[in-house]
Structure 1
Amino acid sequence: MSPPPHAHFEQVYADHYAEVLRFVTRRAHPLNVDDVVSETFIAAWQRRDALPMPALPWLYRTARNVMLNSARGSGRRQALTMRIATHAPGTQTDDVEALERQLDLRAAFGTLSAADQEVLALHVWEDLDARSAAAAIGCSRATYSMRLTRARRRLAALLRETPAPVPASPLTLGTTP
């Protein structure tokens, strides 16, 4: 005899709540995070008899759809908002070059399309394999892999385009017109 569907849901909830919360926190406005996570698990409860295994990609996809529906309904300017982690660059806080690289990466990442940001985030932040990431965004593994490759190339190109600081000319330092 199989366990009742609510027991399966309770296990999915216990196993994946923190991951779904982290996923949504990185993408949604802070005031909307709790609502999105709640709606995601309400959808899971409603499908408790037929939750796919593994459940995490389905939960990510559901959370993503909740955010997209919310964005369409409220007229936000972006369908999906992603934020780059705001933690300090580690023990090298006084390392100006490391800070500049981090700022360049944040700026370049912010100029990517929402689709490029999404595939990179699923790969880097969520550490999903190609099959699970593809399931989370609703495409084939091959399509996801191609999108990831293209997003990496666009990010690398943006980082190469970042202009280097122009040094001050020694003739203009300390001189008055």
Structure 2
Amino acid sequence: MPIHTEAELTDVYRAHYEDVLRFVRRRAHSMNVDDIVGETFLAAWRRRRELPAHPRPWLFGVARNVMLNADRSARRQSALVVHIRQATEAGCHETAIDATAQVDRRIDLVAAWQSLTPADQEVLALHVWEELKARDAAMVLGCTRAAYAMRLTRAKRRLASRVRPAAPASPDLSPTH
């Protein structure tokens, strides 16, 4: 979908600005969001003749590269943790006992999330928060669909292993000597 005029870029901007803004807000410090989004659309203008027919994943990939190039991965991780904590605080409206259990589960989830590598966090975020299909998420990460699917499977396993308490070994499955 090569862009030849400023009006065509304006159409792409209007169609995808909110998505790119949300994408960046989840990953970057709030002071840097506008700069990252601006750089993303500046790159779209500079590479306007190379834009794919469906530019949303491409824009996400550009935004991601802008963040990585600026060495903001630590701030992105902090912003995601804040987002999870805010969701925890906003989600407690049940009875006190249920609310306490829910908070405990969410605290466990926050701790599990923080223990993941930034790469695992990114793969899970593209799947859960951005709701990208495997093909599109792979484009964002610059890998094949199969590689993305494997990374997602492994990240899900690592997160699940950190959230679920380790089950005691069954006497029937214990090694005998």
TM-score (ref. length: structure 1): 0.81
What is the number of residues matched between the two proteins?
158
In 1, the alpha carbon distance for the partners of 2:91 and 2:41 equals 34
Q: 2:74: which partner in 1?
A: 78
In 2, the alpha carbon distance for the partners of 1:59 and 1:37 equals 9
Unaligned runs of 5+ in 2: 167-177
In 1, the alpha carbon distance for the partners of 2:76 and 2:30 equals 13
1:41-60 map, 5 Å = 41-60=41-60
In 1, the alpha carbon distance for the partners of 2:16 and 2:95 equals 33
Divergent runs of 4+, >4 A: none
TM-score (ref. length: structure 2): 0.81
In 2, the alpha carbon distance for the partners of 1:116 and 1:28 equals 17
C-alpha displacement of 1:38:
0.5
In 1, the alpha carbon distance for the partners of 2:45 and 2:3 equals 15
Residues 150-170 of structure 1 show CA distances to partners (whole Å, capped at 9, x for unaligned) of: 0000000001248xxxxxxxx
More helix by share: 2
Q: 2:100: which partner in 1?
A: 96
Q: 1:32 to 1:157 in 2, by over 3 A?
A: same
In 2, the alpha carbon distance for the partners of 1:33 and 1:79 equals 11
Q: Is contact 1:57-1:132 (8 Å) kept? A: yes
Q: 1:3 to 1:107 in 2, by over 3 A?
A: closer
1:5-44 map, 5 Å = 5-44=5-44
Q: Is contact 1:93-1:99 (8 Å) kept? A: no
Residues 10-33 of structure 1 show CA distances to partners (whole Å, capped at 9, x for unaligned) of: 111001100000000010111111
C-alpha displacement of 1:3:
7.9
Q: Is contact 1:8-1:48 (8 Å) kept? A: no
C-alpha displacement of 1:79:
8.3
Tell me the secondary structure at the aligned position of residue 164 of structure 2: helix
In 2, the alpha carbon distance for the partners of 1:36 and 1:148 equals 26
In 2, the alpha carbon distance for the partners of 1:161 and 1:64 equals 33
Farther off after superposition, 88-97 or 76-85: 76-85
**Residue 114 of structure 1 is aligned with which of 115, 118, 135?**
118
RMSD: 2.3
User: Larger Cα Rg: Structure 1 or Structure 2?
Assistant: 1
